Amino acid sequence: MNVLDRTPVQPTSSDARVPVFVPYVGVDTLKHLTDALDVGWLGMGATTKEFEERIAAYLGLEGRYVVCTNTGTSALHIALLAAGVGPGDQVITPSFNYVADHQAIRATGAEVVMCDIRDDDLGLDVASAESQIGPRTKAIVPLHFAGIPCRIADVYALARRHGLRVVEDACHAFGSTAGGAKIGTDGDVQFFSFDPVKVITSIDGGCVVTPHREEVERLHRLRLLGVDKDTTLRYQNKRAWDYDVVSEGFRYHLTNIMASVGVSQIKRADEFIASRRAVCERYSEAFDGIPGVRVLRRSYADVSPFIYSLRIEDGRREALIAHLDARGVDTGIHFVPVHRHTFFASARRAPLPVTERVVDEVVTLPLHSLMPARSIERVIDGVASFFA
């Protein structure tokens, strides 16, 4: 049987474990992938350009530009470099995030400075960030945790007061809205991730969104080894043979093959997001009001949910994790705070009382696009039975 004739099987039957993540890859994705292979141009090319154009169209961008990369981490690295961040500078970001952001900041030669988060939306705490601003501060990197928009207007107000760049970590938030518009349509710079477990995936990939036309050419050079004029021809599935190398650069470009997966996924983005919103609202309805449990949101109308997390109070998180594991329901923890990692233990940081409390309470439950109803109910029953 041809692979394209097979019906995709979700690995979450009523008898299987319910994993935290299940990427949804259907026949449509397989078709896009085989079509891209048939073209024979496997590197960055016309399909990469198409993916960038579809991202711009989906987000509703006007006067803004999309530059795709091979990972979200690469996107942040070159976004910071294009923003002028380098050795001697400081970049403020929460400790409450995955370490990719902090490594990307370090890769520019800048110093990581960590701030606290808010107790309500787990986004950047502006007062904490402001307490760490000094003469070497160059940029702020806030996170939209779980796809929930942080208080981004407050972040930009802070940045304006101190003349700082803002590079928004929107890796969890492709399709989320803030102030009535999709994240990415306004502000300074955003970066997204399309890794295997995000709302849409290109297997691995990311992008930078910027309104700064003068920075786009630098982003193009930075993602492709500093080469000066190869991007335009590669977008036509061609190569330049009379190029020059005019700056530092990295092998960060997104291939046609990975972009073809992204194109197939973005066509279904609204379907995926709607299904995930419904699961999150079903979870919150079931869990809100249970003593010792805190839900982050009841309504997800403005959220493109990457993960669904609860806060478990009174030191009972580990017992809940064990209880769910015994019932075949996997869980995750987002995140181990970066200031507890050996490599960043000596980094400058503000007091982190909310972070220290949250990281011992937060637990991530399974959330998938087009998640089977049976899996949803198994998760709900598992949590409810623990607190019964």
Tens digits of residue pLDDT in 257-294: 999 999 999 999 999 999 999 999 999 999 999 999 99
Q: Which amino acid is at 122?
A: L
Q: Is residue 213 part of a domain?
A: yes
- What pLDDT digit, counting tens, does each position of 52-76 carry? 999 999 999 999 999 999 999 999 9
Please indicate, yes or no, whether residues 219 and 311 belong to a single structural domain of this protein.
no
In this prediction, residue 15 carries a pLDDT of 65
- What pLDDT digit, counting tens, does each position of 16-57 carry? 899 999 999 999 999 999 999 999 999 999 999 999 999 999
Q: Tell me the sheet residues that pair with 310.
A: 295, 363
Residue 5 reports pLDDT greater than 90: no
Please indicate, yes or no, whether residues 165 and 305 belong to a single structural domain of this protein.
no
Per-residue confidence at 229, pLDDT binned at 50, 70, 90?
confident
Please indicate, yes or no, whether residues 154 and 184 belong to a single structural domain of this protein.
yes
> What are the DSSP E strand ranges found in 89-141?
90-94, 111-115, 137-140
Least-confidence region, from 213-222, 237-246, 270-279: 237-246
Please indicate, yes or no, whether residues 339 and 273 belong to a single structural domain of this protein.
yes
Please indicate, yes or no, whether residues 234 and 311 belong to a single structural domain of this protein.
no
- What pLDDT digit, counting tens, does each position of 332-388 carry? 999 999 999 999 999 999 999 999 999 999 999 999 999 999 999 999 999 999 999
- What pLDDT digit, counting tens, does each position of 120-151 carry? 999 999 999 999 999 999 999 999 999 999 99
Nearest by Cα to 101 from 191, 12, 8, 31: 191
- What pLDDT digit, counting tens, does each position of 309-345 carry? 999 999 999 999 999 999 999 999 999 999 999 999 9
Please indicate, yes or no, whether residues 240 and 302 belong to a single structural domain of this protein.
no
Please indicate, yes or no, whether residues 101 and 236 belong to a single structural domain of this protein.
yes
In this prediction, residue 201 carries a pLDDT of 98
Of the residues 222, 245, 266, the one at which a domain ends: 266
CATH number at residue 307: 3.90.1150.10
CA angle at 237 for the pair 236 and 242, rounded to the nearest 5°: 85
Q: Provide the domain limits for residue 129.
A: 27-266
Helix axes 373-387, 317-326, angle to 10 degrees: 130
Per-residue confidence at 230, pLDDT binned at 50, 70, 90?
confident
| Helices vs strands, H then E, count in the chain | 13, 13
Of the residues 236, 266, 296, the one at which a domain ends: 266
In this prediction, residue 11 carries a pLDDT of 47
In this prediction, residue 173 carries a pLDDT of 98
User: What pTM did the predictor assign?
Assistant: 0.95
Residue 120 near residue 311 (C-beta atoms within 8 A) = no
Nearest by Cα to 60 from 355, 271, 356, 269: 269
β-strands 348-349, 111-115: how paired? parallel
Residue 1 reports pLDDT greater than 70: no
- Using the structure block, give the residue that is written with the tokens 């009382």: 353
Q: Give the span between the Cα atoms of 60 and 54, in whole angstroms.
A: 10
Q: Which two tokens stand for residue 93?
A: 């970001």
Please indicate, yes or no, whether residues 245 and 312 belong to a single structural domain of this protein.
no
CATH number at residue 32: 3.40.640.10
Q: Tell me the sheet residues that pair with 182.
A: 177
What is the chain's Cα-based Rg? 21
Q: Is residue 36 part of a domain?
A: yes
In this prediction, residue 240 carries a pLDDT of 86
Mean pLDDT confidence for 216-245: 92
Please indicate, yes or no, whether residues 152 and 120 belong to a single structural domain of this protein.
yes
Q: How many CA atoms lie within 13 A of 313 on its CB side?
A: 7
Residue 117 near residue 351 (C-beta atoms within 8 A) = no
Q: Which two tokens stand for residue 40?
A: 């024979």
Q: Is residue 280 part of a domain?
A: yes
Q: Is residue 3 part of a domain?
A: no
Q: Is residue 7 part of a domain?
A: no
- State the total domains in the chain: 2
Contacts of 297 (CB under 8 A, 6+ apart): 148, 280, 284, 303
Which three-class secondary structure state does DSSP give residue 308? Answer: strand
The end-to-end CA distance of the chain, in Å, is 48
Q: Is residue 22 part of a domain?
A: no
Of the residues 266, 289, 323, the one at which a domain ends: 266
Please indicate, yes or no, whether residues 76 and 153 belong to a single structural domain of this protein.
yes
Mean pLDDT confidence for 153-170: 98
Please indicate, yes or no, whether residues 227 and 297 belong to a single structural domain of this protein.
no
Q: Is residue 94 part of a domain?
A: yes
Residues 363-388: b if buried by 16+ CB within 10 A, e if exposed:
bbbbbbbbbeeebbebbbebbeebee
Please indicate, yes or no, whether residues 245 and 273 belong to a single structural domain of this protein.
no
| Percent of residues, the chain, with pLDDT higher than 90 | 93
Q: Is residue 4 part of a domain?
A: no
